[in-house]
Amino acid sequence: HLMKPVEDAQRPRVVTPFPAPKIMDLPQFQGEHKESLYWGTYRPQVYLGIRARTPQSLVAGLMWIGVKDGRYFMRHVCQDSDELSTYGWTHHNGRDYGHQVLIDHGMTLATSFLKSKEDGSGYGGDWTVRIDVKSEKWNEEMLRSAHLFFYLADEDGNALSLSGDILDIRENSLLALGSRMDVGGWQLHLESVDDLEVHYSGFRTPHIHNLSDLVQESLGEQVRKFGRLQLPDTSDNSPNILVFQISAKVPFKIDIPFLSGTGLKSSRVEERLNSLTGTSLTRELIEKQNEFDNKFEKCFNLTSKVDSESLIVGKAAIGNMLGGIGYFYGQSKISLPKNNNFKSHDNFISYWPAELYTAVPSRSFFPRGFLWDEGFHQLLIWRWDIRICLDIIGHWLDLMNIDGWIPREQILGAEALSKVPEEFVLQHPTNGNPPTLFLVLHDLVSSLKRNKFTSMESNEISSFLERAFVRLEAWFQWFNTTQSGNEMSSYFWHGRDSTTTRELNPKTLSSGLDDYPRASHPSGEEHHVDLRCWMLLAAECMHSITELFRKENGLEKEYGSTAKLLSDFDILNQMHLDKAHGAYFDFGNHTEKVRLSWKEVRAGNNYPTRELVRETLEKPELRLVPHIGYVSLFPFMEKIIPPESWILEKQLDLISNRSTLWTDYGLRSLSKTSSLYMKRNTEHDPPYWRGPIWMNMNYRILSALHHYSQVDGPYRDKARIIYNDLRGNLIRNVVHNYYQSGYLWEQYDQKKGKGKGARPFTGWTSLVLLIMAETYCER
Ligand code: 6A9
């Protein structure tokens, strides 16, 4: 609150929006487009959650009681510790249909989501949810009831009305009703042919991010008082949250339709309810699934390329990518320098309140937007639905501030914030993250030039690019100025900690490759080869956009010559090539002679304690940083190396050699020969990008291998063989893990190929689908 007057008088630059018309204000994102995407499964952080794309929405969701070893647990927010043996969207089209399967210790829930827009329904139309509960090994003891809790909550705090007659759902299927500016009158119903017992509870609270606690407390009280696992059928005055408990003997099936715009005379409630429940719904869901299958085949053409097992994983990949798309609203917290002149007592300042429609890397661990992940996500999404893709990129670019900076990790709203450890919350305006959105934009421009879109789509992409252009320019300039190095066409990632004595190799979170080893002693004299290559990609993309628009003002030339400079093979080699290895390295203040060792130190309370501290056994000097891994392959990924160069052969050797990068499951992030291979960074930081296999980088490398197996040159056959083997290994391992574990994973172990880290991780690991389809960036 102290900030307020200061902010109003003079808004700090860092939280000043980029001064240009917002992309999301373009006409193409209004009207029918906006309405068609209004409702969705936009709460990827819960097992099933529905909301509208509006800051304060009506939100719906599902909880249930899971039973494990005779104990009861409330399921709601996607939590790894729930140990579901699988969950995820086996089908989802990102718009009006999805089918999810969740297996919770012998109990299987299938959740289907369907939207429809019929005459009479209000803004955004109607939607319905079908929940189908079955059991696999449902034993006698569990033959009791299963308990589902379906809730509706109004983030605006508007009161919701309970139907007068909830307890007898056969007589009257209406559960609740209300009215809102955005949807008009609405009704929520429950229908089933099975015997259900229904109870309810109504709450009034502004805090809707800890709904699980609310329900759990209410149930707990009932159990203590009456020994009943049953909501009390009571409500606070004018509740903004309604929870319906639906209990029945397994198996059973329920349909929960939501109708909007019901106030109107012409609203034909009965008819609409009929079409969203029972046998009509069954029919419609089958039809939608067939549509999904057909579109999948049309987009990715897999049938002739992979076996039927892989095909199912491919569908889960795109289904979860689309089903995982979320809508978030809130303010990022931006780190302030210590001596800021805004007289703030906090170490942060809030960004402006913003909306973000985005896919997410992982529904359980990281259910929010990450800048460089998003570029990879969109490689899949644009091929499925170009309008969803543009909408997402538009949201991201609208988050840009006046300096051309976009915060890397988007923690928007109380619900998102509640999941993030403190040290990760603040976003640093000096730090970037790879501008992978250029990967997609470059794809789009190439495809435009090749007339791959309908004329409507082409028009929309063009007007999008036209409006986005100033922002893209600013983004490019932000990197080109703030991240430039001390030599011409050199760059380095800012944000490394040069004062730490704890880390074996100070992390480079901004690069996205976190603990991938860089110069041992961070300094302004570093040159990072990956960033240099990202800049090339960005310059090339900007150039191709200027070409498209035939910009007369010299911009075309400018980006063209930057791209030329950055792809100059000799300059690249002078700066980054290690001739002996035929590998590309970072440059910086470096020694290999560092290690972590235990030291006795005095803690704050003056007691002796032991700590892992870094020792440097030799004076670092300016030199190439001799680690072979993903970073060394960036010039290869960018296809800078001429096909006839001996260096290409060397790169192929590094890739295909088992004692460096090759494994039967994909390419290691760091060579086995590296001094930091699989080394911990601190006592608490196990190796992350120091060995394990990551799909996004494997995709980029595969894409280059594909390129070199197509262009003429002495190493063409070699590239082709490696390409085929690597592709086969990646697909086989991801598919195997999926069947074995029920999930796609964040990374894969380089020794046995086992999935590691976050699960489900249906962000860039889903690129396995493009690998199956052999679809790579067109350049
Ligand atoms: C930790 C822990 C419940 C790390 O996929 C998102 C990012 C990537 O952009 C990045 O390249 N991941 C990669 O190195 C995950 C980052 C998570 C940071 C926040 C919160 C919560 O655990």
What whole-number percentage of the chain has pLDDT above 70?
A: 96
Tell me what the pLDDT averaged over the chain comes to: 94
User: Among 252-266, 492-506, 642-656, 665-679, which stretch is predicted with the lowest mean pLDDT?
Assistant: 252-266
pLDDT beyond 60 at 4: no
Ligand 1 mean position, distance from CA 366 (Å): 6
Distance CA 84, CA 523 (A): 46
Model confidence at 639: pLDDT above 90: yes
Displacement of CA 640 from its chain's centroid (Å): 29
Mean pLDDT (whole number) for 467-476:
98
What are the backbone angles phi and psi of residue 294, rounded to the nearest 5°?
-65, -45
Counting atoms of ligand 1 from 1, which one is nearest the CA of 764? 5
Q: Are 92 and 84 in contact (CB under 8 A)?
A: no
- Residues 687-744: pLDDT tens digits? 999 999 999 999 999 999 999 999 999 999 999 999 999 999 999 999 999 999 999 9
Residue 142 has a pLDDT of 55
Mutate to test the pocket of ligand 1, among 82, 333, 362, 366 (most ligand atoms within 8 A of CB): 366
The verdict on the CB of residue 418 being under 6 Å from ligand 1 is no
Measure 104 CA to ligand 1 centroid, in angstroms. Answer: 26
Q: Which whole number is the average pLDDT over 475-492?
A: 97
Catalytic residue among 514, 568, 592, 778: 514
Is ligand 1 within 6 A of the CB of residue 422? no
pTM summary value: 0.96
The answer to whether 615 is a known catalytic residue is no
- Residue whose Cα lies nearest atom 5 of ligand 1: it is 361
Residue-wise pLDDT tens digits, 759-769 = 999 999 999 99
User: Is the CB of residue 530 below 6 angstroms from any atom belonging to ligand 1?
Assistant: no
Q: Which two tokens stand for residue 236?
A: 């606070």
Compute the average pLDDT of residues 210-236.
Answer: 93
pLDDT at 3 over 50: no
Whether the ipTM is more than 0.90: the answer is yes
Q: Could you write out the DSSP letters of every residue in 662-685?
A: EEBTEEBSB-TTSTTTT--SBTTB
State the distance from the centre of ligand 1 to the C-alpha of 355, rounded, in angstroms.
21
Q: Binning pLDDT at 50, 70 and 90, where does residue 364 land? A: very high
370 lines ligand 1 (CB under 6 A): yes
Tens-digit pLDDT profile for residues 388-440? 999 999 999 999 999 999 999 999 998 899 889 998 999 999 999 999 999 99
Section 17-42 average pLDDT:
98
- In ligand 1, which atom is closest to the CA atom of 421? 20
Query: Which of ligand 1's atoms lies nearest the C-alpha of 514?
Result: 14
Amino acid at 339: N
What are the structure tokens assigned to 578, written together?
């290690």
- Taking the C-alpha atoms of residue 242 and residue 214, their distance in angstroms, rounded to an integer, is 11
Residue 619 has pLDDT above 60, yes or no: yes
Which spans in 301-407 are helix H? 308-323, 371-384, 386-397
Q: Check if 421 has its Cβ closer than 6 Å to any atom of ligand 1.
A: yes
Q: For 111-137, how does the pLDDT look when each residue is reduced to its tens digit (9 = 90+)?
A: 999 999 988 888 999 999 999 999 876
Confidence of residue 345 (pLDDT cuts 50, 70, 90): low
CB of 126 closer than 8 Å to CB of 281: no
Q: How far is the CA of 758 from the centre of ligand 1 (A)?
A: 9
CA angle 661/612/595 to nearest 5° reads 45
Residue whose structure tokens are 């409702």 = 39
Give CA separation, 627 vs 66, 79, 614, 654, 704, in Å: 48, 36, 19, 12, 21
DSSP class per residue in 401-425? BTTS---SEE--SHHHHTTS-GGGT
Distance CA 238, CA 549 (A): 56
Q: What is residue 347's predicted lDDT score, i.e. its pLDDT?
A: 87
Question: Among 499, 495, 515, which Cα is nearest to 507's?
Answer: 515
Q: Is 420 in the pocket of ligand 1 (CB under 6 A)?
A: yes
Q: pLDDT, tens digit, for every residue of 140-190?
A: 555 678 999 999 999 999 999 998 877 777 778 999 999 999 999 999 999
Q: Check pocket membership of 749 for ligand 1, CB cut-off 6 A.
A: no
Res. 602: pLDDT tops 90: no
In this prediction, residue 462 carries a pLDDT of: 97
- Pick the atom of ligand 1 nearest to 424's CA: 19
Q: Which of 155, 255, 409, 746 is catalytic?
A: 746
Task: Point out the ligand 1 atom lying closest to the alpha carbon of residue 371.
Answer: 9
- Sort 18 into a burial class: Cβ within 10 Å, 0-12 / 13-18 / 19+: buried
Residue 530 among the catalytic residues: no
Radius of gyration of the chain (CA): 27
The answer, yes or no, to whether residue 225 has pLDDT greater than 90, is yes
> 692: Cβ below 6 Å to ligand 1?
no
Any ligand 1 atom below 6 A from CB of 19: no
Which helix (DSSP H) or strand (DSSP E) does residue 234 occupy? strand 234-235
Ligand 1: nearest atom to the Cα of 689: 14
Residue 138: per-residue pLDDT: 55
pLDDT over threshold 90, residue 370: yes
Query: Nearest residue CA, atom 20 of ligand 1?
Result: 420
Other beta carbons less than 10 A from residue 81's beta carbon: 6
Is 366 a pocket residue for ligand 1 (Cβ < 6 Å)? yes
Say what the pLDDT of residue 759 is: 98
Task: Give me the pLDDT at residue 344, please.
Answer: 63
Ligand 1 center from residue 632 Cα (angstroms): 23
Structure confidence at residue 779 as a pLDDT band (50, 70, 90): low
Average pLDDT over residues 46-75: 95
Angstrom distance (rounded) from CA 662 to CA 169: 61
pLDDT at 551 over 70: no
